[in-house]
Amino acid sequence: MRPAPSLSPRPGPEGRPSPAERAEHRPVTSLRGVGAALAERLARLSVRRVSDLLFVLPRLYEDRTQLTAIGSLQGGARAAIEGEIQLTEIAYRGRRQLLTRVSDGSGMLTLRFFHFSASQQEGLARGTRLRCFGEVRRGPLGLEMVHPEYRRLTGAAMPLEETLTPIYPLTEGVPQGRLRALIQQALRELERSALRDWLPAASAVPPGLPSLKEALVYLHHPPREARLAELAAGRHPAQRRLAFEELLAHHLALKLRKRSLKSDAAWPLPDDPGLARRFLEALPFRLTRAQARALADVHEDLTAGTPMVRLLQGDVGCGKTVVAAAAAARAAGAGAQAALMAPTELLAEQHWRSFRAWFSPLGETVALLSGGTPARTRRSALEAIASGEVRVVIGTHALFQEGIEFARLALVIVDEQHRFGVQQRLKLSEKGQKEGRVPHQLIMTATPIPRTLAMTAYADLDISVIDELPPGRTPVQTVVVPEPRRVEVVARIAQACRAGRQAYWVCPLIDESDELRAQAAEETAARLAEALPGVR
């Protein structure tokens, strides 16, 4: 789901917004049946104007364009049926429930309701004809649907749906049918008025993609012949049209942010023969060509009077940390401070040990600040940081907490940016905003970033890539393996363990979730234990 773009009314005659613009900017409370309470609930879906409803996109679709005979239903299927109520009764099978038995002459189906009202029970009287849609399950009385959507049929035959039925993301207090009806009202407004296409000209839209209005109408009402697999995968031209606009807006926003940042003043860190030079000369190894190239990029940025915002990307073991340390030496040598923020205490301590080994022989103290830092050590470090006595600081998110003051923070280094929120990185940068100047930023990541993704997701950053490893380092190979080849991955793990090596299997979840379709650690661990007997 994406919120509608921010719209500004275009004046019509006599300076008033045109009718189309008035519809586009009307509050959602102008729709029939929307009061203050419902508007408050809709706001949780980022819906505040009528036009916002158009951008509440379906999460999936159901085919209700044809009826299935009850006798042909299969467990696990989602289907639409029509039939006549034979019996409605309240049953007590562990909990109070309403059971309605429906027949169409080919078979019998039970509708089961755990939450129901007296009026609902009265409306499901024997002899009433219903059209129902839901998931078919096998229950104690045979096939059943639990809390299906249904309509009572009266008099003339009710036509079937002509398009696929959208299923929308919900929030508490806004049921599916209610939200669908509100979006229908918004679509009718769209038919009567224009929706501004925000791209400057048709030539800006890639060939084969529809207009914004055409894309929205299609996605809310795909025809019955639409390919569900294509829609589910997000590959339909209508979805690609909205994705293109969203990516373009994101890209432009990042470009504007970069332009705005470049208009600020930064602490200039000129080249000098002092600490930065001695740091490089004291290293027990020589930088690779790729490291030297990346460091040259960083040094050029630090010399300028505008803030550096650079992404340093390279595989694990390529030597990003020493490049960052050389940049920190440049800041410390200029009498300023550098702070490196790591996502975990373990990684922060690893960086601190490396920096201390490099800087201590040069007479520079490196402070460590994390949640696990002892209180006495922390107080001493805070005083030294505030006075400027300590010029190189390593830490976790504790670095941007209240009570931590820097004397002259000129360089912020962030390891694995994706582990931090943007606001966390900005909070640390704000600690260096003094005397009308902002700190330089160097972001490190080992995550492989394709060029096309870098151009969109990181458009606000300049990028340096360390694409070679120091001598003696084993290259890291990143491979994407599809789910059907899981057994091959398990076999490789078994082979590695037999050879005395270790393997890590990282899952995005601990327990299974109804919200996310992703591997859970507990289930994966159980499956691996079964597939790898004797391996701990």
Q: Are residues 434 and 462 in the same domain?
A: yes
Q: Are residues 354 and 441 in the same domain?
A: yes
Question: Exposed/middle/buried for 162, CB within 10 Å: 0-12, 13-18, 19+?
Answer: exposed
> What per-residue confidence (pLDDT) applies to 129?
94
Could you read off the pLDDT tens digit of each residue along the chain, which spans 536 residues?
Answer: 454 444 444 444 444 445 445 556 789 999 998 999 999 999 998 899 998 999 999 998 988 889 999 999 999 889 999 999 999 999 988 789 999 999 999 999 999 999 899 999 999 999 999 999 999 999 888 999 999 999 999 877 788 888 899 999 888 888 888 999 999 999 988 777 767 777 766 557 788 888 888 999 999 999 989 988 899 888 999 999 999 888 888 888 888 877 877 778 888 888 776 899 999 999 999 999 999 999 999 999 999 888 998 999 988 888 999 999 999 999 999 999 999 999 888 889 999 999 999 999 999 999 999 878 888 888 999 999 999 999 999 998 878 777 788 999 999 999 875 555 555 556 666 666 766 788 999 999 887 776 666 666 677 788 899 988 888 777 777 788 887 888 888 888 888 888 888 888 777 655 544 444 445 677 777 778 877 887 77
> What per-residue confidence (pLDDT) applies to 152?
92
> What per-residue confidence (pLDDT) applies to 55?
92
CB 95 within 8 A of CB 124: no
HEC string of 63-132 equals: CCCCCCCHHHCCCCCEEEEEEEEEEEEEEECCCEEEEEEEECCCCEEEEEECCCCHHHHHHCCCCCEEEE
- Last residue within a domain, chosen from 246, 276, 310: 246
Q: What is the pTM of this model?
A: 0.62
Q: Are residues 88 and 213 in the same domain?
A: no
The one-letter code for the residue type at 278 is R
- Last residue within a domain, chosen from 120, 142, 160: 160
Find tokens 């006595």 and name the residue: 389
Q: Please count the structural domains in the chain.
A: 4
> What per-residue confidence (pLDDT) applies to 13?
45
Q: Are residues 105 and 50 in the same domain?
A: no
- Last residue within a domain, chosen from 424, 439, 466: 466
Please tell me whether residue 510 adopts helix, strand or coil conformation.
coil
Does the residue 201 lie in any domain? Answer: yes
Q: ∠ CA(218), CA(222), CA(227), 5° rounding?
A: 120
Q: ∠ CA(323), CA(329), CA(331), 5° rounding?
A: 110
Q: Are residues 181 and 323 in the same domain?
A: no
Tell me how far apart the alpha carbons of residues 458 and 442 are, in angstroms, rounded to a whole number.
13
Cα radius of gyration (the chain)? 31
> What per-residue confidence (pLDDT) applies to 353?
95
Q: Which residues contact 286 (CB under 8 A, 6 or more apart)?
A: none
Q: Which residues contact 165 (CB under 8 A, 6 or more apart)?
A: 61, 62, 63, 64, 133
Query: Up-side HSE of residue 27: CA atoms within 13 Å toward CB?
Result: 9
